[in-house]
Structure 1
Amino acid sequence: MKTCITIIFLMLLAPLSAQNDTIFFDKNWKISSKETAFYYRVKPLKVKTKDAVSYKIKNIDSLFVIKDYYLNNNQLQFQGYSSDHEAKYLIGKAEWFNIDGKIVDANNFNYREKKNTGFKIPESKLPIFYFDYKIANKSLLTGGIEFCLSCKMENKLLLGTGFGITNSYNGNYYGLPDIHLFYNKELLFIKTGSSHKNAYAIGGVTFLNVLDLGLGYSFPYSNEKMPVYKGFTTGITLRLAGESKNAYQKFNIIQ
């Protein structure tokens, strides 16, 4: 007798529980009661992200399975995956259907794709650190960072900025900001740059873009004596790319 009562109780409770797990929406997709609803959504279940979209997403371990239906005929209206149970942030394949069950729209919200955020300079994820030592009419030690503008190409184009220290004729030290472009083709490179006091151009040889040895000339913007960096210039540059290893040239062994 107790078993029969339990079974009857569970049968009466099941529809009530299912109704509580169902969300009803009106024609404008606002939450409503069943009496005024046009759509409904069953309680979203969670699945592993990789099982849902076949790839892992950082910081998202699982996704909600979203399924919406037309109330009058229980026809599927939408199906897809979302990172939240309200389906505000869709991920992976999503499909929309009309009341007759035909697909009217589909999209793939693929989080592996890089989004275009507008103007973008560096291809390398992290900056490249460089240290540069030049000698003209005086010595100049410069340090700074570079960004790779063409890391996917065999020949590299780098944009750099830094700050240098040089001594003047009276023994004092002065600072010179630096901005430059570096381009190499195989073992050869050319670099042009400028500070607020001078412009320069240097060409020479590079070992895999790690170490540059160059010769060039520095042109002062004025003839003032302090501080002026001018004349024929020799220089050496050490480049530390870190995780931006695409800035380096590949070492090819000729057999």
Structure 2
Amino acid sequence: MSLFTTFYFLSKRQVTYYFLGIFLLISSRIVAQKDTIFYDHNWKNTIKDSAIYYRIKPIRIKTKKAIGYKIDYIDSLYVLNDYYLKNNKLQFEGYSISKDEKQLVGIAKWYDQNNVIEHLEEHNGNRRDNLAILNVPIIIPYVDYKNVTKNQFIGGFEFCLDKDNYNKLLLGVGFGITSYSDTCYGLPDLHLSYLSNDDLLFFKAGTSDRHAYALVGRGSGVMDLGLGYSYPYNKNDFPVIKGFTLGITMRLTVFGIFFQKFQFIQ
């Protein structure tokens, strides 16, 4: 093989490696951007150009590996690491039951821009944590009672649409009965419930084939108790379901017990 041919093949191989390296570099940056969350000075989501901090997409690790001990009903925790965008130094590190820092577990550390610890907290169960709400099953049986002009009894299933978030959005599908003039009527139920565990509030909007309703009140995950209003689709279609509404919802596990348990983290 001539010197020219050898040089040609070497050059071709180098060019191939060069383009392969560029491709891998670009791909890694794209993946890194998708796995990075940017925040402004108020810790609101923003774009990179106006960001002050950034967080690497949280990953889950076993609870005992993270904090050195086990917690009932909590198999794993999210690893949270925040950084200063200016110098890529660590701003915060900790472990959380949810994807954000609302339910920290173990030791959490905050750093200044010189990587010096300026604040440290240990979250070891000094308050009661609503553990099961943070790890609810995807499908939750429920029973429901409403009092409008007539009593309504409904049962069905709720589907958790955002299982990993601290606040929950639930889609419910069920069927129940109501009565009018000594006659029972079937009553299908379709609803959306939003549980705000920060404030222990719930917001619920739903419908049947006869009426629409909306409720707001106190919600603990186990039981929602609220007031609202129901409005009929057809005022001539009996039974007419209209007026101020008292609603109670109770959620159960597949074993027939409450899925929520209050306990201290040990």
TM-score by length of 1: 0.46
- The structure richer in helix per residue is 2
